[in-house]
């Protein structure tokens, strides 16, 4: 492949949906691209930026077709932006792009030149709307069992609940997939109190944004859908003035004047007593 017809493929994360939360790098990639490939809803979110470009829209279930089309157009010499919501590397198109590249035997240095442009993932955008729930260890689990066997998903929820991670649930529920979130609630309830805060954020930074702060006992009473992310607190998460907060743990070690508590040394590991609590 000669350098003259070297195409470029930008795998672009557009963030949650509002233009202010699109990074300048993502914007630049979209500006440079001659061809834009993406799921209809995401294309519509960035429509004002697309004037004069060729738009290749497809539906939700045509992800492989979309990735293949983007790769082959770019390989042939065009600049192509493949658009993903949030971050392309978090349950996004970046993984599929690598599968297509492997399938065609692409090597680094060949056409297309690959750029993966990060975006604000739903965990981050949703967290910002509810307070500071991710300030200590957290993980995410997708409840979609279209491509992952349900027993694997159940095992991960169980492990995350047991290890006291704050848990972000992506793809919690759809029209046809309604039981998973109920089972997830039951699993987490084995390890956490019913008062544990749970946030439901729908369409973060989009027109129909909804934020609900509930708890483990009641969150299933609210609407949850394809555009919702569920954030389940750890045993340390609390609600303050309508915000969900997970403390980093400073107060275990320091008082507000910045001095270490008795028995603790600044800058070294937290000391615990025989029952595992800070001394």
Positions touching ligand SAH (CB under 6 A) are 16-17, 84-87, 90-92, 121-122, 125-126, 170-171, 201-206, 226-229
Three-state DSSP class for 212? strand
Three-state DSSP class for 213? strand
Helix (H) or strand (E) holding 69: helix 63-75
| CA dist., res. 214 & res. 219, Å (int) | 5
| CA dist., res. 122 & res. 229, Å (int) | 7
| CA dist., res. 202 & res. 187, Å (int) | 23
Tell me the chain's radius of gyration from C-alpha atoms. 22
Q: How far is the CB of 265 from ligand SAH (least distance, A)?
A: 40
Q: Up-side HSE of residue 41: CA atoms within 13 Å toward CB?
A: 15
- The residue among 196 and 203 lying less far from ligand SAH, judged by its C-beta, is 203
Q: How far is the CB of 187 from ligand SAH (least distance, A)?
A: 18
- The residue among 161 and 230 lying less far from ligand SAH, judged by its C-beta, is 230
Q: How far is the CB of 92 from ligand SAH (least distance, A)?
A: 4
Position closest to ligand SAH via CB: 86
| CA dist., res. 22 & res. 174, Å (int) | 26
- The residue among 153 and 201 lying less far from ligand SAH, judged by its C-beta, is 201
- The residue among 58 and 252 lying less far from ligand SAH, judged by its C-beta, is 58
Q: How far is the CB of 119 from ligand SAH (least distance, A)?
A: 7
- The residue among 203 and 246 lying less far from ligand SAH, judged by its C-beta, is 203
Q: How far is the CB of 216 from ligand SAH (least distance, A)?
A: 18
């Amino acid at each position: 492949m000669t350098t003259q017809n070297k195409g470029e493929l930008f795998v672009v994360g557009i963030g949650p949906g509002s233009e202010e939360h699109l990074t300048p790098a993502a914007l630049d990639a979209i500006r440079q691209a001659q061809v834009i490939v993406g799921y209809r809803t995401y294309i519509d979110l960035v429509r004002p930026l697309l004037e004069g470009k060729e738009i290749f829209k497809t539906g939700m279930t045509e992800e492989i077709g979309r990735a293949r089309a983007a790769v082959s157009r770019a390989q042939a010499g065009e600049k192509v932006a493949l658009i993903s919501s949030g971050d392309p590397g978090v349950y996004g198109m970046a993984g599929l792009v690598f599968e297509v590249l492997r399938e065609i035997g692409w090597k680094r240095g060949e056409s297309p030149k690959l750029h993966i442009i990060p975006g604000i993932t739903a965990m981050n955008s949703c967290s910002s709307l509810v307070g500071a729930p991710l300030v200590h260890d957290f993980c995410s689990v997708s409840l979609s069992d279209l491509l992952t066997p349900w027993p694997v998903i159940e095992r991960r929820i169980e492990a995350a609940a047991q290890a006291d991670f704050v848990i972000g649930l992506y793809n919690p529920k759809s029209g046809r997939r309604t039981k998973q979130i109920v089972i997830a609630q039951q699993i987490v309830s084995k390890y956490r109190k019913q008062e544990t805060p749970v946030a439901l954020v729908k369409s973060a930074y989009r027109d129909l944004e909804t934020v609900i702060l509930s708890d483990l006992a009641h969150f299933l009473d609210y609407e949850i859908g394809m555009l919702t992310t569920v954030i389940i607190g750890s045993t340390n998460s609390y609600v303050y003035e309508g915000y969900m907060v997970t403390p980093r743990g400073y107060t275990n070690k320091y008082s507000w004047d910045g001095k270490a508590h008795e028995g603790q040394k600044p800058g070294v590991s937290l000391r615990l007593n025989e029952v595992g609590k800070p001394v």
